[in-house]
Structure 1
Amino acid sequence: MDTSCNRFFFAFFIGYYYFVDKIEDSIRPRYMETVEESLNDTVHLLASLLEGELSQKNDSLEKTSERIFSPMMRIAKERDLNSKIFEITKKKVDLQLYVTDSRGIVVYDSEGFKKGSDYSKKNDVYLALRGKYGARSSLLFGSEKGLFIAAPIRSSGKIVGVLTVIKPKKSLIPFIESTRKKFWNLSLYVAVSIVVLFISILYFLFSPIRKLSEYISALRSQKRVPFPKIGVPEIRGLGEEMDRLFRELAGKEYVENYVQSMTHEIKSPLSSLLASSELIIENPDRLESLISNIQLEGKRIQTILEKLLELSSLENLPQLEKTPNLNLQDVVRETAASTISESVRKKIKLKELTETVWVEANSFYLGMALRNLVQNALDFSNPGSEITIRCGKENGFPFLEVEDYGPGIPSYALERIFEKFYSLPRPDTGRKSSGLGLAFVREIAKLHDADLEVKNGNPVGVRARIRFKRNFQVKN
């Protein structure tokens, strides 16, 4: 993941945390508002009950409050609730209340210790006595806080007192903390979901682009790879257009290079043909040698053209049809059998060092590649020497190898041996070949996902190896 994505996720998590933290801070106030709304209903219901009793009987506010609320609060507090409210179990009634007269003096207290106190300056009583909404949040005992909600008590149309309901805040804390925990869990789940969704979208968008980039990079490296499967139609269409453009440009450059190289290579044998044909007229006595030279140069031109056709057909193939189970031992034996006559003619011994090695390959083209390597070895080996053809595994990877004990490759030529039309003179004739053999072998190696390695032996000779890049298992 690149730096820009890291910056995005960092900014996202900072912003998301700030957003969630702000919402989390609002949970407690919103919860208190909900409780306050319920307490407001409760206090007005109790005040209405008290007003009804006052209108029916002539008792004082103090006596009426004692008669109504004392038994009710005593019985309520003695009740064992065991009320499971979601995951919180409520065991006792914790609601409190007190009643004040028109002067703000407490005439009834459910807890018994506030009676006689002057609450006229308390916000709940002060506002309710004036017909307004009275509420406050104050200390109950020590550091314990409570929510106080008041309602006016009316008799004969006048406010004669105030009834206040108290809810200890400690009873609300478990619900608030539970809500906070759920909120953070949900926030974490949402954050993870957003990240997973974002990564999925990134993968969906950038995976095709990455495949396309790797494909173009492979084409630039002259690797043979099929066009990747891209699920996004727009990106697939763009990739196909880029692929066509790249191939057109590559094809144009390919043709230009081929024409230039072929012109250079055919120029020499053509000049020799023209010179020989002119000498035939001037020197009839040299007819036999000149005709022989014409035949040799004609064959060289024919070989160049044939190799060019073979190489161009290979270079235009995206991939080869391959046999799942091909034994390299068989390829070595067939190659040795097809070149035995020339090795006998040149008095060069062919030695096979093989073992059973299975690969997935095209037997025809792999055989052609190995024959080219053996032919090179025969061309540069001295009579009486030996050529070894090997197949086996090194570090688990299959290989085919041809080793000769000839003069080796000059240091100045090592960097150029894979160039098209580059060739070294043969020791026995001094003539050059088409210069396309190793280029042909390398193309076949690429089509088999293999490397062609050519290096000088120690101390003499040349070792050419086709090394497969992956291990193969026998397929049933």
Structure 2
Amino acid sequence: MLDRTQPHQGLNSEDTSQSIDQDVVAHEPGDRGWRRPLGWLRRAGQFFFALSFSSLTRRIVSLNLAGLVALVASILYLSQFRAGLIEARTQSLMVYAEIISEAIAASATVEGNTVTIDPDRLLDLKPGESFGQPDESADFPINPERVAPILRRLIAPTKTRARIFDRDGGLILDSRNLFARGDVLRFELPPPSEKPSLFEKTKTAIKTWFNRGDLPIYRELGPEGGKGYPEVAESLEGTNGSKVRVTERGAVVVSVAVPVQHFRAVRGALMLTTQGDDIDHMVTSERLAILKIGGVASVVMIVLSLLLASTIAGPVRRLADGAERVRRRIQTRVEIPDFTGRRDEIGHLSGTLRDMTNALYSRIEAIEMFAADVAHELKNPLTSLRSAVETLPLARNENSRARLLAVIEHDVKRLDRLISDISDASRLDAELQRQDMAPVDLRRLLTTLTTVANETRLGHDVAAEIRLEGRGPNDAFSLPGHDSRLGQVISNLLSNAQSFSKPGDKVRIICRRVRGEIEIIVDDDGPGIGVDALERIFERFYTDRPHQGFGQNSGLGLSISKQIIEAHGGRIWAENRPGPADEDGNPTVAGARFVVRLPAL
């Protein structure tokens, strides 16, 4: 026969690989149809492989599977099916034994000292009916030759083993030895050298563990040991008896014994015993059915657990990977996966992580901008100070030296002010986060600050007045917050308004309730704010002052005020107060106005 299975015979490995590659390339256009399903299977395998090594997935599958396994095991071990089956089998055997016993006693005829059984008249008899006249004194032995035919006929449907014992417990007849003329007895015996396999040993051990319980071991007691069976001993006393045992191989054996009576005289005992593993087969079939159902339920549970894990472990892993990328590449913006469309804890976690990441990036950008602004603002006075120090040795007279020293002193004070305000601004967020908010009475706070401002009036002659609009309960002007920081905001707005006011002018503070908020207005009669500066006025280090006021402020006061107000959940903005129209009818500016709104209690 020709061998056609070696098309590359005689080629080395390199030639073979080259030919295989050429075959693949040659068939590539026609292989696209099956490559796509393979790609899907490969991706599905990768997905399942990734899920199988997920700790959360393992826990979900293990916990669900453990519960199902415990349920199936308890059903297999504690099932009442086995006990009910044994009880039903015992009752049926008892009925069969009573019928056979009555048949033996009813069909017997007394012939001297022997009992003759007429099998032909057995089916014509009614329960309790007998041949001949009752004779209480008749004492007869059971003739096995006459009993054997009827016994063979009656036990055939039951597939049980029947034994008849005399009154002394001796074996008279055993159905195992019943055979017709010409029959040959055959007993299946294992080969002497054959040993049970490991599978058989394991199967026997499991069966014994399931069936043993508190059941005794069944043993053959020999021809003269009938009374060694408790049920036979009871039947010889005139009562029915039953017993459940197990063999050495774990098979359940049910035996019943009833007395053979003739005119209420016990002549012997009939014992019926189950043969083979009929009960075990039924119990095993039931357990196999339970195992099949458990297997199907396990597959369904595993699939559902994997689907559940894919909706939990997968998104959580992606969120963790996104957070890890944020940690490693903090200098570049990395987006956290968006699962906010899910209406569950995963979606809430995704939204929270995204908000936290955006806040982190915003804080980083703010720190970078703050550092750049600080460097720029510190560089200006340092440059001026350096120029003055370098020029001081070149001064020719005392007036020039005095002016240079004044410049140095001014720059040093400006640096000190800048450093103090920068330090305050840098630790503001941390202090606001550490401190707990408490109820703040704005009426008392504004009254106290206005009184202090009117009593000090450092460097100006501008008074402040306060007006509270609206009446209400004592807590109508209360809000949760930090009283010291809110006082800092009001002081900044007051000092800013006073610095732009003329001597003799007044700064007006108005406090009123606007629905669920408290509004604070600070008005002055100064020149107002330029249109371009209305938005920039709250930027760090921004100043828009006359030349004579240059260097007196760091430009951080309004920026710090906005930061404090926003930390309290409020808003702050600036606007111009409209004044009367001029001669040409154009609108004029009566002064600047700063408005603060904070949520009330």
TM bucket, shorter chain: 0.3 to 0.5
Q: Which has the larger radius of gyration?
A: 2
Q: TM-score by structure 2 length?
A: 0.37
Q: TM-score by structure 1 length?
A: 0.47
